[in-house]
Structure formats: structure tokens, C-alpha cells
Chains A and B, each alone.
Chain A
Amino acid sequence: MKSVIKMKKIKLVLVGMFAVLTTVRAQDVLDVSGINLLLFGGDQKSISLTVDIQPLAIVDFEPEGQLISGSGETTVEAGMPATTLGGGLPDNLWLNFTHRAINYQPARIYVSANMPLPDNIIVRAEIIETGIGGDFTANPRVGHVDLSQSEQIIVYDFGNGYTGDGLGNGYRINYTVLNPNNEPFPTGYQSIYRIGN
């Protein structure tokens, strides 16, 4: 009876050792801090590697290609005019950006218009919500901006980050048009967003 039990123990030990060895073999990761290179006939060498990473600043609106005026469909890729106002106002526009600084220099987002408006028309833009996607430090302007041809800050200094792409990411922009006399809107009016220093 005793010999049977001993045999079972030996088998268990063998199975255990085999399992450990198999596990070690299946593992592709090595603890190099404690390895004995001499014992394994091994060696170790290191070499320098250089990586050059570009700065990056890109901004656009979502949804893309939205029909928001009677004049046609706009393209809202980064660097392009963001919206064309006239026939109707979008109510769910989100400003997305990705930014990697040059020499740690913080960036801002500016907004301006491509042409003057008649005296009685005012276009206002305001950040009314910040999305939770991506990885960035939010620093929106509080309150609205009356658009003019001069650039004005709508997002203050921020460092490297990205908002996530699409609706619900970045900053939600609300537009208000004050046009008490219901004057005709200038054809080709655009608001322009720029990310930079």
C-alpha cells in the first residue's frame, strides 16, 4: 500500500516538474536581470537606436461633410474652413484635435471669420461641452466669441494630447446668429479654426 502511495507521489512530482518546464518553455518573456549567460552559452549586446518624432497639430469638425447651408456641402478637414453659415445652424458640432508640441510649446485654438459681416449681424461661437474621450487637458474659453476677421482664442494653452475622433469628443461648439433685421447673409461666409501657438 505504501509503495503505491510513493509511486503516486513520484508521478505527481514528475508531472509537476514537467508542467513547470513546459510553462517556462511556453513563456516568450525572459527576466534578463538574473540570467546566467555563461551557463546558457549566451551573450548580450546593446546598440544605440535613434527615433525622430514629428510635431503634430490637426483640428477638424465632426460630423464631417454635413450639409449646413443652402450653398452646398462643406469640407471640414483640418486647415480648411470649418462651417458655412446661412441656411441653418448645426446644433451638434464637435471640434476634434490632435496635438504634439514643438519644444514643449503649448498650443491654442483660434477662431476667426473669412469676411466682415454687415453691422447688424453678429455670429457667436461658444464651447458648451467638453467630451471625455481621448487624452487631453481641457482648457476652453468660458463664454462666447463674437467672430471677426481677427483671430480670437476659443481654447487656451494646452499640451500634447488628442480628443478622440467623432461626435462627443473634444469640444462641442454652439453657434448663435444675431440678425434682428433678417438681413441676407453674405455668400461664402466662413468661420475658420486654427490650432497653433
Chain B
Amino acid sequence: MKIYVFTLLLVLLATISRAQILPGTLNVTGASNITQSINDLIQEAGVDDNESSFESNFDANIVSFILDPLLNPLTLDITDSEQACTLNIFRYSVYMHTLNAPQNLIIEAKTSLNSGVRYPFSIPYDNTVDPILGPRDLYTQNGGQYIPIPNDPSVAIKVFEFIGCRTDIPIQFRAKASSLAISGTGNFQVVYTILGSLF
């Protein structure tokens, strides 16, 4: 019985801790286009064309995330996003997946280490000797190399994470088209999902 109570307490504690993460808004901009040129095609007959690849600009998408303004229900004071991001530091993980991408096409994405800009640019947290979550930096997955993005409505893969609010994070894409892929223009959706955590 004690074990159940203990377990329940742990779960509740974890849930309450999660609930303390404040809501924020993810913003993604950019006119993304990845175009294969003649020079991007394989040069050896018999080889699948997915052994070659082609890239977008390094900033095909720009990702930003800031906390929403907060309303104090007692005083009705509003804390704006800048102040909210100054006072509340969380860790954010960014996951990506695509929807309805062409078949036989691999889409990869990456950003570079510590890309983007801290928001606000400088806050007291940055000057603490041993900040709880570490510096307000951006950390890439896979050493900053390209990561294949799942083309699945329910599965996303983590591409990077950062501490605190952050803006202007550039995302670059790379495509590998098999010879089996249909030629021409394909249009599909890239979905970004961001999750916060206290740890």
C-alpha cells in the first residue's frame, strides 16, 4: 500500500512540476525551397540518385520561441514576454516531422551549434556563476550534422534544444531523392513541435 502511495506522490509531483512550465509561442517563417540542379544528379549510371543530395539555403526556415505575456489574476498586472523570458528559464526541445512528403525522398534538417539569438539578449541569469540549466545556448543533436526527418503524422525527431527563450534560429534542409521518386515539384508540410522542461 505504501508503495502505491509513494508512487502516486511521485507521479503527482512530476505532473505538478510539468504544469509549472509557462505557455509560449513558436514562430516559424521562411519560403522554403529545395531545388535539385543538373550538377546535383549522380554522374555514374546504375547508381541510385539518392547517393547525391541537394540543399536549401542555410536559413530556409527561421524559428523563434518566446513565452506568452502573463496575467496576474490577483492584481491584473500583465508581465510581457520579455519580462516572462527574463524570469522563467526552461529547457526547450524542438522536434520535426513532415506531412505528405513525396515518396522515395529523404528530407534532412539541421541547425548549427549555438545558432539563433538569446531573448532577451542579456539577463541576470547569464551572469550567475552556476546557472541551473546551464548557459542560455542552443545545442544540436547529432553533432550538428543533418538528421533525417520522419514523414509520419505521429512521429517526430529531436533536432536541437536550447535554454531560455530564443529567436532567429536558422534551419537548413537537405534532400536525397531516389531514382524512384517522381520528378517535378512536390509540396508538403514541415511540422515543428517544441516541448519545455524544467530539467
**Footprint of B on A, CB under 8 Å?**
6, 9-10, 13, 17, 28-35, 37-56, 58-60, 62, 78, 96-104, 133-135, 160-166, 169-170
The residues of A that contact B183 with a CB separation of less than 8 Å are: 53-56, 100-103
Is the C-beta of B85 less than 8 angstroms from some C-beta in chain A?
A: no
CA distance A28 to B94 in the complex (A): 10
CA distance A56 to B150 in the complex (A): 26
CA distance A79 to B99 in the complex (A): 38
CA distance A50 to B184 in the complex (A): 10
Partner of B156, one of A30, A47, A133: A30
Contact between A163 and B184 (Cβ–Cβ < 8 Å)? no
- Min distance, Cβ A130 to any Cβ of chain B, angstroms: 13
Known: A30-B158, A52-B185. A169 touches B179 (CB 8 A): no
Interface residues of B in 81-107 (CB under 8 A from A): 90, 92, 95, 97-99, 101-102, 105, 107
Known: A43-B194, A47-B28. A9 touches B3 (CB 8 A): yes
Extra inter-chain contacts (16) besides given A32-B155, A56-B42, A58-B42, CB under 8 Å:
A29-B157, A30-B158, A33-B153, A41-B195, A43-B194, A46-B28, A49-B60, A51-B186, A51-B188, A53-B185, A58-B41, A58-B43, A59-B45, A100-B49, A103-B183, A161-B180
Query: 5 tightest A-B contacts by CB?
Result: A96-B46, A41-B21, A165-B46, A41-B196, A33-B154
Is the C-beta of B57 less than 8 angstroms from some C-beta in chain A?
A: no
Is the C-beta of B75 less than 8 angstroms from some C-beta in chain A?
A: no
Contact between B196 and A40 (Cβ–Cβ < 8 Å)? yes
Contact between A163 and B187 (Cβ–Cβ < 8 Å)? no
Is the C-beta of B141 less than 8 angstroms from some C-beta in chain A?
A: yes
Partner of B155, one of A30, A59, A99, A102: A30
The residues of B that contact A46 with a CB separation of less than 8 Å are: 28, 99, 189-192
Contact between A44 and B26 (Cβ–Cβ < 8 Å)? yes
Contact between A10 and B98 (Cβ–Cβ < 8 Å)? no
Tell which of B29, B36, B46, B155 has the most Cβ of chain A within 10 Å.
B46
Contact between A97 and B45 (Cβ–Cβ < 8 Å)? yes
CA distance A55 to B173 in the complex (A): 21
- Min distance, Cβ B77 to any Cβ of chain A, angstroms: 21
Is the C-beta of B70 less than 8 angstroms from some C-beta in chain A?
A: no
Partner of A53, one of B23, B46, B184, B197: B184
The residues of B that contact A32 with a CB separation of less than 8 Å are: 95, 97, 153-156, 191, 193
The residues of A that contact B194 with a CB separation of less than 8 Å are: 42-44
- Min distance, Cβ A22 to any Cβ of chain B, angstroms: 12
Contact between A50 and B3 (Cβ–Cβ < 8 Å)? no
CA distance A17 to B11 in the complex (A): 10
Contact between B35 and A169 (Cβ–Cβ < 8 Å)? no
The residues of A that contact B45 with a CB separation of less than 8 Å are: 58-60, 78, 96-98, 163, 165
- Min distance, Cβ B84 to any Cβ of chain A, angstroms: 11
Is the C-beta of B48 less than 8 angstroms from some C-beta in chain A?
A: yes
CA distance A45 to B37 in the complex (A): 30
